[in-house]
């Protein structure tokens, strides 16, 4: 792409038109992102270890893990912080993610700590999940970046992987949060290096809200300062009402129940951005 492509861009971009999501699966991007996942300075990519630990306390209690060893499926697990915490408690876990650096790191931790966790590099839309799970988790609003068709597919595959009575824990965005976070005026910064590139570059971003379909589209342009080459990334985020979500998940063989209180979402400013939604496999 060239700088003239930025000037001549079509606004607003339509959902999914310029790509699905940020390039989690690109090797170099995933290495840079891994640093953010593991940073204990913020809760932006993964929660801090102490928040993950409290989330696993909550999940372990919910799924009956204080009474028996659990088999846990961690979907879009990132560096597997939840899986590793479960495994340190004696549960067995299987984590899937398409970020190569995250999966490599999770595997290295498994070996170093001699844990019963297993990780695989794959896309949860087509990876094999296995069977016999007591608990499956898809956390941190990641369900909101899939199309409704893909989300139904993931729910269907998860139902097939869970034991009857097993639980799927989803963590959707609270209503209004997607628009508030992703509808942003154009802005730019000059960076020596950053999440989107190791090289000096200019980063331009802007975000749009499509009220008719309740979706946000965020777009980034990375302009390399030496070559002037432009790379475009885009992410679509879908807002679902709770009623829509319940209908979509229940159609795949679950009963959605009210989650117990006290989910530690770990938001830095204290305002809840996500809520727990628990579906029990029928
Ligand atoms: C916000 S991070 C959350 C990671 C982890 N679940 C946590 O809570 O710490 C989202 C993760 O979803 C992964 N991801 C996104 N789409 C995916 C897909 N289709 N298949 C596998 N992983 C995916 C990304 O690579 C990234 O690691």
Q: Assign residue 276 the CATH number of its domain.
A: 3.40.50.150
Atom of ligand 1 nearest to the CA of 142: 10
Residue 225 · residue 208 · CB < 8 Å: no
Q: Do both 102 and 213 map to the same domain?
A: no
Calculate how far, in angstroms, residue 45's C-alpha sits from the geometric centre of ligand 1. 9
Q: Do both 96 and 150 map to the same domain?
A: yes
pLDDT at 269: 66
Tell me, yes or no, whether 44 lies in a domain: yes
Q: Do both 164 and 260 map to the same domain?
A: yes
Q: Do both 83 and 154 map to the same domain?
A: yes
Calculate how far, in angstroms, residue 19's C-alpha sits from the geometric centre of ligand 1. 16
Write the residue with the smallest CA distance to atom 16 of ligand 1. 76
Residue with tokens 């499956």: 136
Locate 258 and state its tokens: 């009210």
Q: Do both 217 and 262 map to the same domain?
A: no
pLDDT at 160: 98
Atom of ligand 1 nearest to the CA of 81: 9
β-sheet bridge partners, residue 221 = 204, 232
Q: Do both 89 and 195 map to the same domain?
A: no
| Sign of the CA dihedral with 51 first, then 24, 98, and 103 last | negative
pLDDT at 124: 98
pLDDT at 268: 63
Tell me, yes or no, whether 33 lies in a domain: no
pLDDT tens digits, residue range 230-256?
A: 999 999 999 999 999 999 999 999 999
Q: Which domain holds residue 190?
A: 3-23+177-238
Q: Can you list the residues of the chain whose pLDDT is less than 50?
A: none
Calculate how far, in angstroms, residue 79's C-alpha sits from the geometric centre of ligand 1. 9
Q: Look at the chain and report how many structural domains it folds into.
A: 2
Three-state SS annotation for 145-195: HCCHHHHHHHHHHHHHHEEEEEEEEECCECCCHHHHHHCCCCEEEEECCEC
Calculate how far, in angstroms, residue 11's C-alpha sits from the geometric centre of ligand 1. 28
Order of strands across the sheet with 215-224?
Answer: 187-191, 201-210, 215-224, 230-238
Tell me, yes or no, whether 214 lies in a domain: yes
Q: Do both 123 and 184 map to the same domain?
A: no
User: What DSSP state is assigned to residue 274?
Assistant: B
Order of strands across the sheet with 133-138?
Answer: 117-121, 92-97, 71-75, 133-138, 162-170, 277-281, 254-257
pLDDT at 204: 98
Write the residue with the smallest CA distance to atom 12 of ligand 1. 76
């Amino acid at each position: 792409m060239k700088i003239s492509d930025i000037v001549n861009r079509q606004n607003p971009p339509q959902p999914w038109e310029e790509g699905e999501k940020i390039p989690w699966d690109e090797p170099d991007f995933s290495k840079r992102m891994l640093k953010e996942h593991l940073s204990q300075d913020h809760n932006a990519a993964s929660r801090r270890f102490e928040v993950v630990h409290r989330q696993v306390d909550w999940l372990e209690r919910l799924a009956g893990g204080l009474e028996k060893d659990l088999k846990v499926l961690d979907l879009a697990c990132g560096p597997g912080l939840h899986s590793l915490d479960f495994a340190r408690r004696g549960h067995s876990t299987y984590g899937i993610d398409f970020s190569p650096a995250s999966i490599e790191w999770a595997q290295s931790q498994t070996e170093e700590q001699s844990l019963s966790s297993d990780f695989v590099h794959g896309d949860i839309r087509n990876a094999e999940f296995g069977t016999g799970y007591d608990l499956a988790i898809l956390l941190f609003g990641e369900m909101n970046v899939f199309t409704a068709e893909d989300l139904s597919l993931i729910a269907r595959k998860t139902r097939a992987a869970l034991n009857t009575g097993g639980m799927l824990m989803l963590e959707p965005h609270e209503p209004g949060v997607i628009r508030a976070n992703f509808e942003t005026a154009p802005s730019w910064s000059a960076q020596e290096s950053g999440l989107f590139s190791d090289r000096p570059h200019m980063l331009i971003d802007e975000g749009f809200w499509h009220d008719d379909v309740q979706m946000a589209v965020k777009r980034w342009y990375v302009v390399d300062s030496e070559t002037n080459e432009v790379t475009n990334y885009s992410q679509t985020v879908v807002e679902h009402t709770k009623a829509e979500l319940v209908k979509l998940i229940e159609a795949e063989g679950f009963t959605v129940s009210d989650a117990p209180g006290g989910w530690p979402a770990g938001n830095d400013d204290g305002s809840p951005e996500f809520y727990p939604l628990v579906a029990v496999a029928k």
